[in-house]
Amino acid sequence: MHHLIHRFRLKYGLRFSPREDHRCRQLARLYLVGDHFQRIYHYHIRKTGGTSINHMLLGTAGRPGYELYNTLSGSPNLRIVAGDKVFVGWNRRLIEQGYYHYAFSHIPAHQIKIPARTFTITCIRNPFQRLMSHYNMLMDYKTRDRRRTDLQVETNWLGNGFADFIGKIPPQHLMRQLYMFSARYDVSEAFDRIVNCSQVLFTDSLVKDTYEMSQKLKLDLEPPHTRRSSMRPQISPAERDLAHIALAPELQLYTRLKKHRQALEKPQP
């Protein structure tokens, strides 16, 4: 998603209608998800399949999720009403107010305050695979000469290959999953925040995790299909080793999260 464009619009271009605000407050008060939650919020980490998850949950309004996603991204205040449900994307002010059924953003957890009684979700991916997906996306953009302003900026990180990319990409994007939940890149702090989410999904078990989330939310959710870049650049063993060194803290976090999941799923004697 064009997060730089949205950042500009959030700062300079939003319009709030008192009538629309009132209607959204009324609709949100009537909503209950699961047993006692009032709303759902997604800590959306790039290149983990999060956009597909957004489409899936937007689709609970009874219309194709991708259509609502496009409508939402083009709305003046990044909020829409569809099927008597309120959806918000990227808008911190509206997310923190809490008058919605489903909302999402790329805002780190340490920079936003989510209201109580919110069913919080995030999706985690193998850090190396996530980084490769980001690299492939930028290579795909560069090759096809597309006109996305945000990706145009990020192509400056590519340099002359994958090794350059690792050296140029800012730490908050290199280890986005870790930074999303800890401004200090502290593995224990991020781990605690993630496991305190109402539902932690993993990209490599998204079908099973979606079914589990459906049961908790009492919603009929169809597992999403993650998007794939058409680019598959070859990297050398040395470049792979370099990536694993650069990603070491986030790989530690990922390993802890996987072990935690396994412990939860282990049958009790």
pLDDT of residue 196: 98
Q: What is the mean pLDDT of residues 231-237?
A: 82
Q: Does position 37 have pLDDT exceeding 70, yes or no? A: yes
Angle in degrees, CA 26, 6, 185, rounded to 5: 100
Mean pLDDT score across all residues of the chain: 90
3-state SS track over 2-30: CHHHHHHHHHHCCCCCHHHHHHHHHHHHC
Per-residue pLDDT band at 5 (split at 50, 70, 90): very low
Does residue 93 sit in the same domain as residue 140?
A: no
CA–CA gap between residue 199 and residue 216 (Å, rounded): 9
Q: Which two tokens stand for residue 214?
A: 């459906």
Does residue 117 sit in the same domain as residue 133?
A: no
pLDDT of residue 261: 96
Does residue 185 sit in the same domain as residue 87?
A: no
17 part of a folded domain: yes
Give the highest mean pLDDT range of 6-10, 120-124, 229-233: 120-124
CB atoms under 10 Å from CB of 51, counted, come to 19
Does residue 151 sit in the same domain as residue 94?
A: no
Strands (E), 75-156: 79-82, 85-89, 102-105, 118-124
Does residue 60 sit in the same domain as residue 142?
A: no
Q: Does position 150 have pLDDT exceeding 90, yes or no? A: no
139 part of a folded domain: yes
Per-residue pLDDT band at 229 (split at 50, 70, 90): low
222 part of a folded domain: no
- Distances in whole angstroms, Cα of residue 95 to Cα of each of 141, 228, 230, 237: 31, 29, 34, 43
Q: Which amino acid type is present at position 220?
A: D
Give me the sign of the Cα torsion angle 175, 231, 225, 156: positive
CA–CA gap between residue 195 and residue 217 (Å, rounded): 18
Does residue 139 sit in the same domain as residue 74?
A: no
Does residue 98 sit in the same domain as residue 16?
A: yes
CA–CA gap between residue 95 and residue 72 (Å, rounded): 14
Give me the sign of the Cα torsion angle 91, 134, 184, 119: positive
pLDDT of residue 223: 83
Say what angle helices 50-58 and 65-74 make with each other, to 10 degrees. 100
More confident residue, 26 or 172: 172
Q: How many structural domains compose the chain? A: 2
Q: Does position 225 have pLDDT exceeding 90, yes or no? A: no
Per-residue pLDDT band at 19 (split at 50, 70, 90): confident
Does residue 42 sit in the same domain as residue 113?
A: yes
Q: Which of 22-31, 68-77, 108-117 has the lowest mean pLDDT?
A: 22-31
105 part of a folded domain: yes
3-state class (DSSP) for residue 192 = helix
14 part of a folded domain: yes
CB atoms under 10 Å from CB of 223, counted, come to 16
Phi-psi region of 58 (alpha: psi -120 to 50; beta: other; left: phi over 0): alpha
- Tell me which residue range forms the domain holding 78: 3-124+200-217
179 part of a folded domain: yes
Q: Does position 161 have pLDDT exceeding 60, yes or no? A: yes
Does residue 131 sit in the same domain as residue 259?
A: yes
169 part of a folded domain: yes
* pLDDT, tens digit (0-9, with 9 covering 90-100), for 252-265: 999 999 999 999 98
Do the bridges between strand 39-43 and strand 102-105 make them parallel or antiparallel, or are there none, so unpaired?
parallel
243 part of a folded domain: yes
Whole-number percent of the chain with pLDDT over 70: 89
Beta carbons of 207 and 221 less than 8 angstroms apart? no
Q: Which of 11-25, 82-96, 127-141 has the lowest mean pLDDT?
A: 11-25
Number of H helices, E strands in the chain: 14, 6
- This prediction's pTM: 0.91
Q: Which two tokens stand for residue 234?
A: 């070859």
Q: What is the mean pLDDT of residues 74-81?
A: 94
Does residue 98 sit in the same domain as residue 19?
A: yes
* pLDDT, tens digit (0-9, with 9 covering 90-100), for 39-58: 999 999 999 999 999 999 99
Does residue 117 sit in the same domain as residue 65?
A: yes
Does residue 112 sit in the same domain as residue 134?
A: no
